[in-house]
Amino acid sequence: MANDNKLGAPEGYTIKKSGPALRIISTILLIVWSIINLYPLFWMIMLSLKNNEQVNLTHKFGLPAGWPNKWHWENYTNPELHLERIVTYFKNSVIVTVLAIAIALVAAMMASYALMRFNWRASGAFNKMFMLGITVPVQVSLVPLLITTSELGITGSRISLIIPYAAFALSMAILISNGFMTNIPKELDEAAYIDGCSRYGVFFRIILPLMTPAISTIGIYSFLQCWNELIIATTLVTSEEMRTLPIGIRNLVGTNKVDYGLIGAGITIATIPMIIVYILMSRKIQESFIAGAVKG
C-alpha cells in the first residue's frame, strides 16, 4: 500500500488514502443515523394501522399484534378521521405557501436588482438592513399583527397569513438572490443598454430569465419557513375552513384523545404527500438547498 502511493507522489512523501476501516465505520454510523431518522416514520405508519387494543399491547418494534393478518386499514376510511377537512387544510397550506413564496420571490429579485446593479451610496447599508431581518423572529410581529388585522377586519383571512409569511421569508430570499445575481455578468447589462434597453427592460429581458435557477433555491428555503409556520397561524386563524395544515392537524388530533390508530392515520395522511414529492424531487430539492448554502 505504502509503496503504491509513493509511486505517484514526490520523493519522500506518502499519500495516506482513507483506509477500509474508516470507510466501514463511517458507513455503519451513517446507517445507524438513517435508522434513527426513518424509524419514527415507520412507527407512525404502524400506529395508523392499529386499533386501540394493539396500541396498548406495546410491541418492541411497533408492529401491530397479530400482524400481518391484522392491519387495521379501516382507520383510513373511518369517517371520524375527517379526511375532507385534512384535504381543506392541505389546500389552504398550499395556497398560502405558494402565494407567500411568489411575493417574496418577486420582491427579493427586484430588491437585489436595485442593490446590486445600481451604483448608489446607501446600497450597502440597505443590504445590511435586509440581512438583519434574517434573525428577526416572527414572535415580534404577533400582537401588532393581531391588533392591525382585527382593525382591518381581515384576521384569519388568507391575506393575513400570506403577507407576513412573505415578509419573514424576504431577507433570506434577498440574500440568495444577491448571490445568484452577482454571477450574471454585468457586460450583459451594458450590451443591452447600448441596444437601447431601459433599466426596466434589462431587468425583465436580461436579469429575470437568467435568474430562473434562483427560483427553486429561494423556493425551498421559503417553503421550509412557511409550510410549518405555527405561531402566526394559531394566533390569527380562528375559522375551521381557513386552517392551514399544522394547526388543522393539531386541532383534529387534539380533539381526538381516545383512538390512537386514528391519530396515526391523520398524521400519516398529512405527511404522505410531502414524502411523495420529496421522493420524486429529492435530488432537485437538495441541489437547490445546497446552491443556497454556497451562494448565501
Contacts of another protein in 242-281 (CB under 8 A): 245-247, 249-250, 253, 260, 263-264, 267, 270-271, 274-275, 278
Q: What single string gives the DSSP state of each residue in 2-39? A: HHHHHHHSPTT----PPPHHHHHHHHHHHHHHHHHHHH
User: Is residue 228 a contact residue for another protein (CB under 8 A)?
Assistant: yes
Q: How far is the CB of 194 from another protein (least distance, A)?
A: 16
Distance CA 227, CA 244 (A): 9
Distance CA 60, CA 136 (A): 43
Grid look-up 427579493 returns 108
Subset of residues 130 to 159 that bind another protein, contact rule: CB under 8 A: 130, 132-133, 135-147
Distance CA 155, CA 133 (A): 24
Grid cell locating 287: 441541489
Number of residues that bind another protein (CB under 8 A): 103
Determine which residue in the list 70, 87, 106, 201 makes contact with another protein, applying CB under 8 A: 106
Distance CA 172, CA 178 (A): 10
Determine which residue in the list 4, 27, 185, 280 makes contact with another protein, applying CB under 8 A: 27
Of the pair 32, 191, the CB lying nearest another protein is at 32
Part in contact with another protein (CB under 8 A); list of ranges 16-24, 72-80, 153-161, 189-197:
16-24
Grid cell locating 93: 397550506
Distance CA 15, CA 4 (A): 9
Of the pair 27, 191, the CB lying nearest another protein is at 27
Grid cell locating 195: 441596444
Distance CA 285, CA 102 (A): 17
Subset of residues 63 to 92 that bind another protein, contact rule: CB under 8 A: none
Q: How far is the CB of 185 from another protein (least distance, A)?
A: 20
Distance CA 97, CA 165 (A): 8
Determine which residue in the list 126, 157, 158, 184 makes contact with another protein, applying CB under 8 A: 126
Q: How far is the CB of 254 from another protein (least distance, A)?
A: 9
Contact map string, positions 170 to 209, toward another protein, x by CB under 8 A: xx--x------------------------xx--x------
HSE on the CB side for 138, CA within 13 Å? 21
Determine which residue in the list 81, 161, 164, 236 makes contact with another protein, applying CB under 8 A: 164
Subset of residues 34 to 53 that bind another protein, contact rule: CB under 8 A: 34, 36-38, 40-41, 43-44, 47
